[in-house]
Chains A and B, each alone.
Chain A
């Protein structure tokens, strides 16, 4: 198969690892241009997000099968979830995505102060999310809805629906998925907050400008992805059987 010779797609440095004019100090030696480095980093983050989609996807798959097997039991669990907290957390994450997107925008435009403030706002909302989750987990603990720990699982309170105890085993599966999925998600949030703190520290030291903001960009992609996972978790875990709620 013959293809016509095409012109080089980009300029190469004539000396592979010597100093040449226009050598951004952030350019790693194995790359030829800043653009190549930026494109590689963003593609790399997208490929990593693909792996995360499949990682969470495995849990979504198992959840989907069990929900289809035990619809009534799963629906009965929503009486023990707090959809208000869930909705608030969803709104919190969406705001943090806004501040993150604006932060990336500020970085592209070289607006140092705006970048730092928006990163702080993002971190604040991320911590707020984790705080709400801690409150929720505590409520489940007090309510004896934690299947992982012996002595803290009890599905026999029939306050909201008669015959609920018969669903206990199957509801336990839902609660397992609740803790696994929100737990893995929370771990990703903690990593995300850590990332943002690191990016904030780098921004404070003036590491970013309009020519180099790659870490901000790829951290932003990660943050938005974690938001998207929650966008799906919220209806699937919190809003299952709400039509039957007495509240």
Chain B
């Protein structure tokens, strides 16, 4: 029914994912302050994209499937982002001032 990706493609993706895991492991030992978490999440994000697009074959799927896959990720961002708005902005107002 659909194009079937080659074994080579799958193995290449697997290799990339494994290498990125090793990178995550060793990069976490490098002191980067607040950027550590950013780098870790970025690497995880790329790994996720590889699994979604190639292993789950979303790259070859219909626009509808792509929309639903993207919507899931987007809704998670809505949850995390809007909750974060509260916590991040609680300290913006200096003590005792209205504005």
1/0 per residue B41-63: CB within 8 Å of A?
10110011001101111000010
- Bound state CA distance, A92 and B22, in angstroms? 13
Enumerate chain A residues within 8 angstroms of B56, measured Cβ to Cβ: 220-221, 224-225
- Bound state CA distance, A58 and B80, in angstroms? 8
> Is A35 at the interface (CB under 8 A from chain B)?
yes
Assess whether B76 is in contact with A235, with CB atoms less than 8 Å apart: no
- Bound state CA distance, A27 and B69, in angstroms? 27
Assess whether A228 is in contact with B21, with CB atoms less than 8 Å apart: no
Complex: chain B residue closest to A58, CB-CB? B79
User: Known: A60-B80, A98-B10, A98-B11. Is A109-B4 also a contact (CB below 8 A)?
Assistant: yes
Q: Distance (Å) between the CB of B78 and the closest chain A CB?
A: 10
> Is A87 at the interface (CB under 8 A from chain B)?
yes
- Bound state CA distance, A139 and B10, in angstroms? 35
* CB within 8 Å: A-B pair count: 123
> Is A61 at the interface (CB under 8 A from chain B)?
yes
Interface of A is mostly: helix
> Is B99 at the interface (CB under 8 A from chain A)?
no
> Is A149 at the interface (CB under 8 A from chain B)?
no
Assess whether A90 is in contact with B21, with CB atoms less than 8 Å apart: yes
Q: Distance (Å) between the CB of B26 and the closest chain A CB?
A: 10
* 7 cross-chain pairs, A with B, having the tightest CB-CB distances, nearest first: A235-B40, A239-B28, A98-B14, A50-B72, A243-B31, A53-B72, A57-B76
Complex: chain A residue closest to B27, CB-CB? A239
Assess whether A43 is in contact with B64, with CB atoms less than 8 Å apart: yes
User: Known: A235-B44, A243-B29. Is A228-B52 also a contact (CB below 8 A)?
Assistant: yes
Q: Distance (Å) between the CB of A66 and the closest chain B CB?
A: 10
Stretch at the interface among A99-107, A127-135, A164-172: A99-107
Enumerate chain A residues within 8 angstroms of B54, measured Cβ to Cβ: 101
> Is A65 at the interface (CB under 8 A from chain B)?
yes
Assess whether B29 is in contact with A242, with CB atoms less than 8 Å apart: yes
User: Known: A50-B71, A98-B14, A243-B28. Is A61-B83 also a contact (CB below 8 A)?
Assistant: yes
